[in-house]
Amino acid sequence: MKNKPAAKTRHVVAWINKAEWDQVLDYLYSKDAALQNYALQRISAWKGRFGHNTPVAVESTADLVRCQVLDSSGQLDSDDLVLLYGMALVRFVNLITERRQGRVAKPLRRLAGNMNIPEWIVNLRHDITHRRLPTLKWCRKGCAFVLQWLQQEYWSRQLGSRLSEDWDSESEEEEDEETWARRREEDLLTQQKETENHKKARELLISYEKERFQMYEEWLKRGSPHGAWLEPSADLSWNLKQIKLFATESREIFTDTLVQDGFLIPTQEQLESLDIDPTGCYDPLRPCVPRVFLQFWLPLLKGLNRVTFIRRVLEKLFAELSAEPDPHRSFYLSAWISEVVLCNSKSLFKVKKKSQMMELFVNRMQLGWQQLLTTCLNSPCAATPYLLQLLLKDMDEPPPPDTQEKLLRLSSIYTQGEYHDTHGQPDPSKHVYTLQNLKEKLRRDGNSAHGLGPGLSLSYRSASSAQSLPTEDLQEKLSASVLEQRQAALRGSPWQVCTDKVPWKFYPLGKVPGQSEDPSCLMVETYSTVTVFDQQVELDKTPQHHLNPSIHSQNRAGSDGQLWSLAELNKLKSGLKLF
């Protein structure tokens, strides 16, 4: 049996609270299509928050319930419904059982049997995938059974505050001791082999570094620090052959080791040994690998000059860059990315190569630009706008110019960097996105801050003299005349100017002070109470040509059978406010 940890791990979930979870569960298994649709919309919101970590049982339940809703609508033919049910059932069986697969493939029937899924469900999935499609009756029967299974095996167990991981690992506890022991032995052997490969990769790279440091010392003794390095020695050539063979067999392990500190990411001692100033002020917005350090690794990169290896190195560099807090590592990670992209650029192969990029690529490579573009956007750093510009410039089929400009601008906003318009001089009066941009715009406008009112301009001037002003105190500095102007502008609108001292920074987006924990509190259709606030509304002075004034005054004076004019209805509507 597998021992469970004594302490439970806290998890961040996508639902507001347990009340929303219970509500979605009740609506999913109700017979009302409208309630089921509402539950499906809430799960869609959960998936937007979960991303790729949405629980498999929740996603499978939503797919199957969506099939039932479309079936009950009567808008689809039976053939279309069979395809919908079939896709949902196939995804359920595949997603539920694939987590139980080990390194050796096991039959689906055995895995499903361990999870109390009957064999006829697996056979139904097999018929949908490989044979003749089943009838709609069997698809409906399979959907109903699977939904009942999910309710018992997953949803009901969450009500007792048990984590989904407990449900995921339930079938593993049912395996016999022999299977568990064999799997554990296989995992230990695999882990041991990976450890040995990591150790071997480090030994090969350390051996390479020793040879290169010796060559660097001999190079300095020649008294030509600006000349070319010496040709590789016999020991270095043998080491490069060993590295090339190892990188072919264990490419992922080798690239993981290569981007560690002490190799492509130099330590302070290595920089000093190569006479590179470790405290040098490199530009983090336009990173560049130092010339000597690039030549240090040039023979190895040239020996591994293959598309698969270069792609893997770029992917690993971007992956490390996405979660790197150290500015030193972040600089060299982005610097190596820029060097590889520049060495492979189209313009470089049209002219004579520069000395620091010499002979790294013999021919231009297709590096999977679309995937690299997505990876670059998912790994934001200070150099992201620069790297993004390099990728867009080097793509064989780049996006349209307006799309490129939007990507560059958005990346500059996200990284708080500066954006330089490639189509001309930047217009400082447009595209105010960040607080710094707004301060600069107000500083330029001075007293003529358009649309913000004189009070805000004066408060900003006083804030500039005091160097900074907290944004939450900005509203307190608004004059009474400005507040009156804004309240007058919002008259007749459900919006109001908040004059209370509310610490908004403690409230997440979508939450307001005093909000109920009921997940339906913000649904307008659940409330029928309206409140009339006292305000003066100007009546429409345009004469109504289709109304008779005598009849109008007569209807107003009568107590029964009143008829309302259009102007009176507009007056009533403008004085209503929904809560």
Confidence bin at 103 (pLDDT 50/70/90): low
Instruction: Give the mean model confidence (pLDDT) for residues 516-538.
Output: 53
In contact, 368 and 311? CB cutoff 8 Å: yes
pLDDT given at position 417: 63
Q: Which two tokens stand for residue 132?
A: 């003749």
Confidence bin at 326 (pLDDT 50/70/90): confident
pLDDT given at position 575: 65
Confidence bin at 204 (pLDDT 50/70/90): very high
What does pLDDT average to over the chain?
75
Of the listed ranges 42-46, 503-507, 516-520, the least confidently predicted one is 516-520
- For residue 530, pLDDT over 50 is answered with no
In contact, 107 and 125? CB cutoff 8 Å: no
- For residue 461, pLDDT over 50 is answered with no
Q: State whether 312 and 444 are in the same domain.
A: no
pLDDT given at position 449: 43
Beta bridge partners of 577: 531
Instruction: Give the mean model confidence (pLDDT) for residues 393-398.
Output: 84
207-242 burial by CB neighbour count: b if 16+ within 10 A, else e? bbbebbeebbeebeeeeeeeeebeebeeebeebbee
Q: State whether 28 and 125 are in the same domain.
A: yes
Distance of CA 334 to the CA centre of its chain: 20
How far CA 108 is from CA of 102, 232, 366, in Å, comes to: 12, 55, 39
C-alpha–C-alpha distance, residues 76 and 280, integer Å? 68
Count of structural domains, the chain = 4
Q: State whether 265 and 116 are in the same domain.
A: no
Give the model confidence (pLDDT) of 119-147 as tens digits. Answer: 888 888 888 988 888 889 999 999 999 99
One-letter amino acid of 536? Q
Instruction: Give the mean model confidence (pLDDT) for residues 508-524.
Output: 70
Q: State whether 394 and 497 are in the same domain.
A: no
Helices within 115-176 (DSSP H only): 119-130, 136-150, 156-158, 164-168, 170-173
Confidence bin at 355 (pLDDT 50/70/90): very low
pLDDT given at position 66: 93
Q: What is the DSSP letter of 155?
A: I
- For residue 352, pLDDT over 80 is answered with no
Nearest to 249 by CA among 309, 189, 298: 309
CB atoms within 10 A of CB 259: 19
Confidence bin at 206 (pLDDT 50/70/90): very high
Q: Which of 175, 210, 237 is the last residue of a domain?
A: 175
User: What range does the domain containing 508 cover?
Assistant: 435-512
Give the model confidence (pLDDT) of 61-88 as tens digits. Answer: 999 999 999 988 888 898 899 999 999 9
Confidence bin at 533 (pLDDT 50/70/90): very low
Q: State whether 407 and 439 are in the same domain.
A: no
Q: Which two tokens stand for residue 504?
A: 């908004």
Q: Which of 381, 414, 447 is the last residue of a domain?
A: 414
Q: What is the DSSP letter of 450?
A: T
Q: Which of 160, 175, 190 is the last residue of a domain?
A: 175
pLDDT given at position 9: 56
In contact, 501 and 476? CB cutoff 8 Å: yes
- For residue 426, pLDDT over 70 is answered with no
Q: State whether 103 and 162 are in the same domain.
A: yes
Share of the chain above pLDDT 70, in %: 70
Which is higher by pLDDT, 459 or 156?
A: 156
pLDDT given at position 203: 92
Instruction: Give the mean model confidence (pLDDT) for residues 489-507.
Output: 79
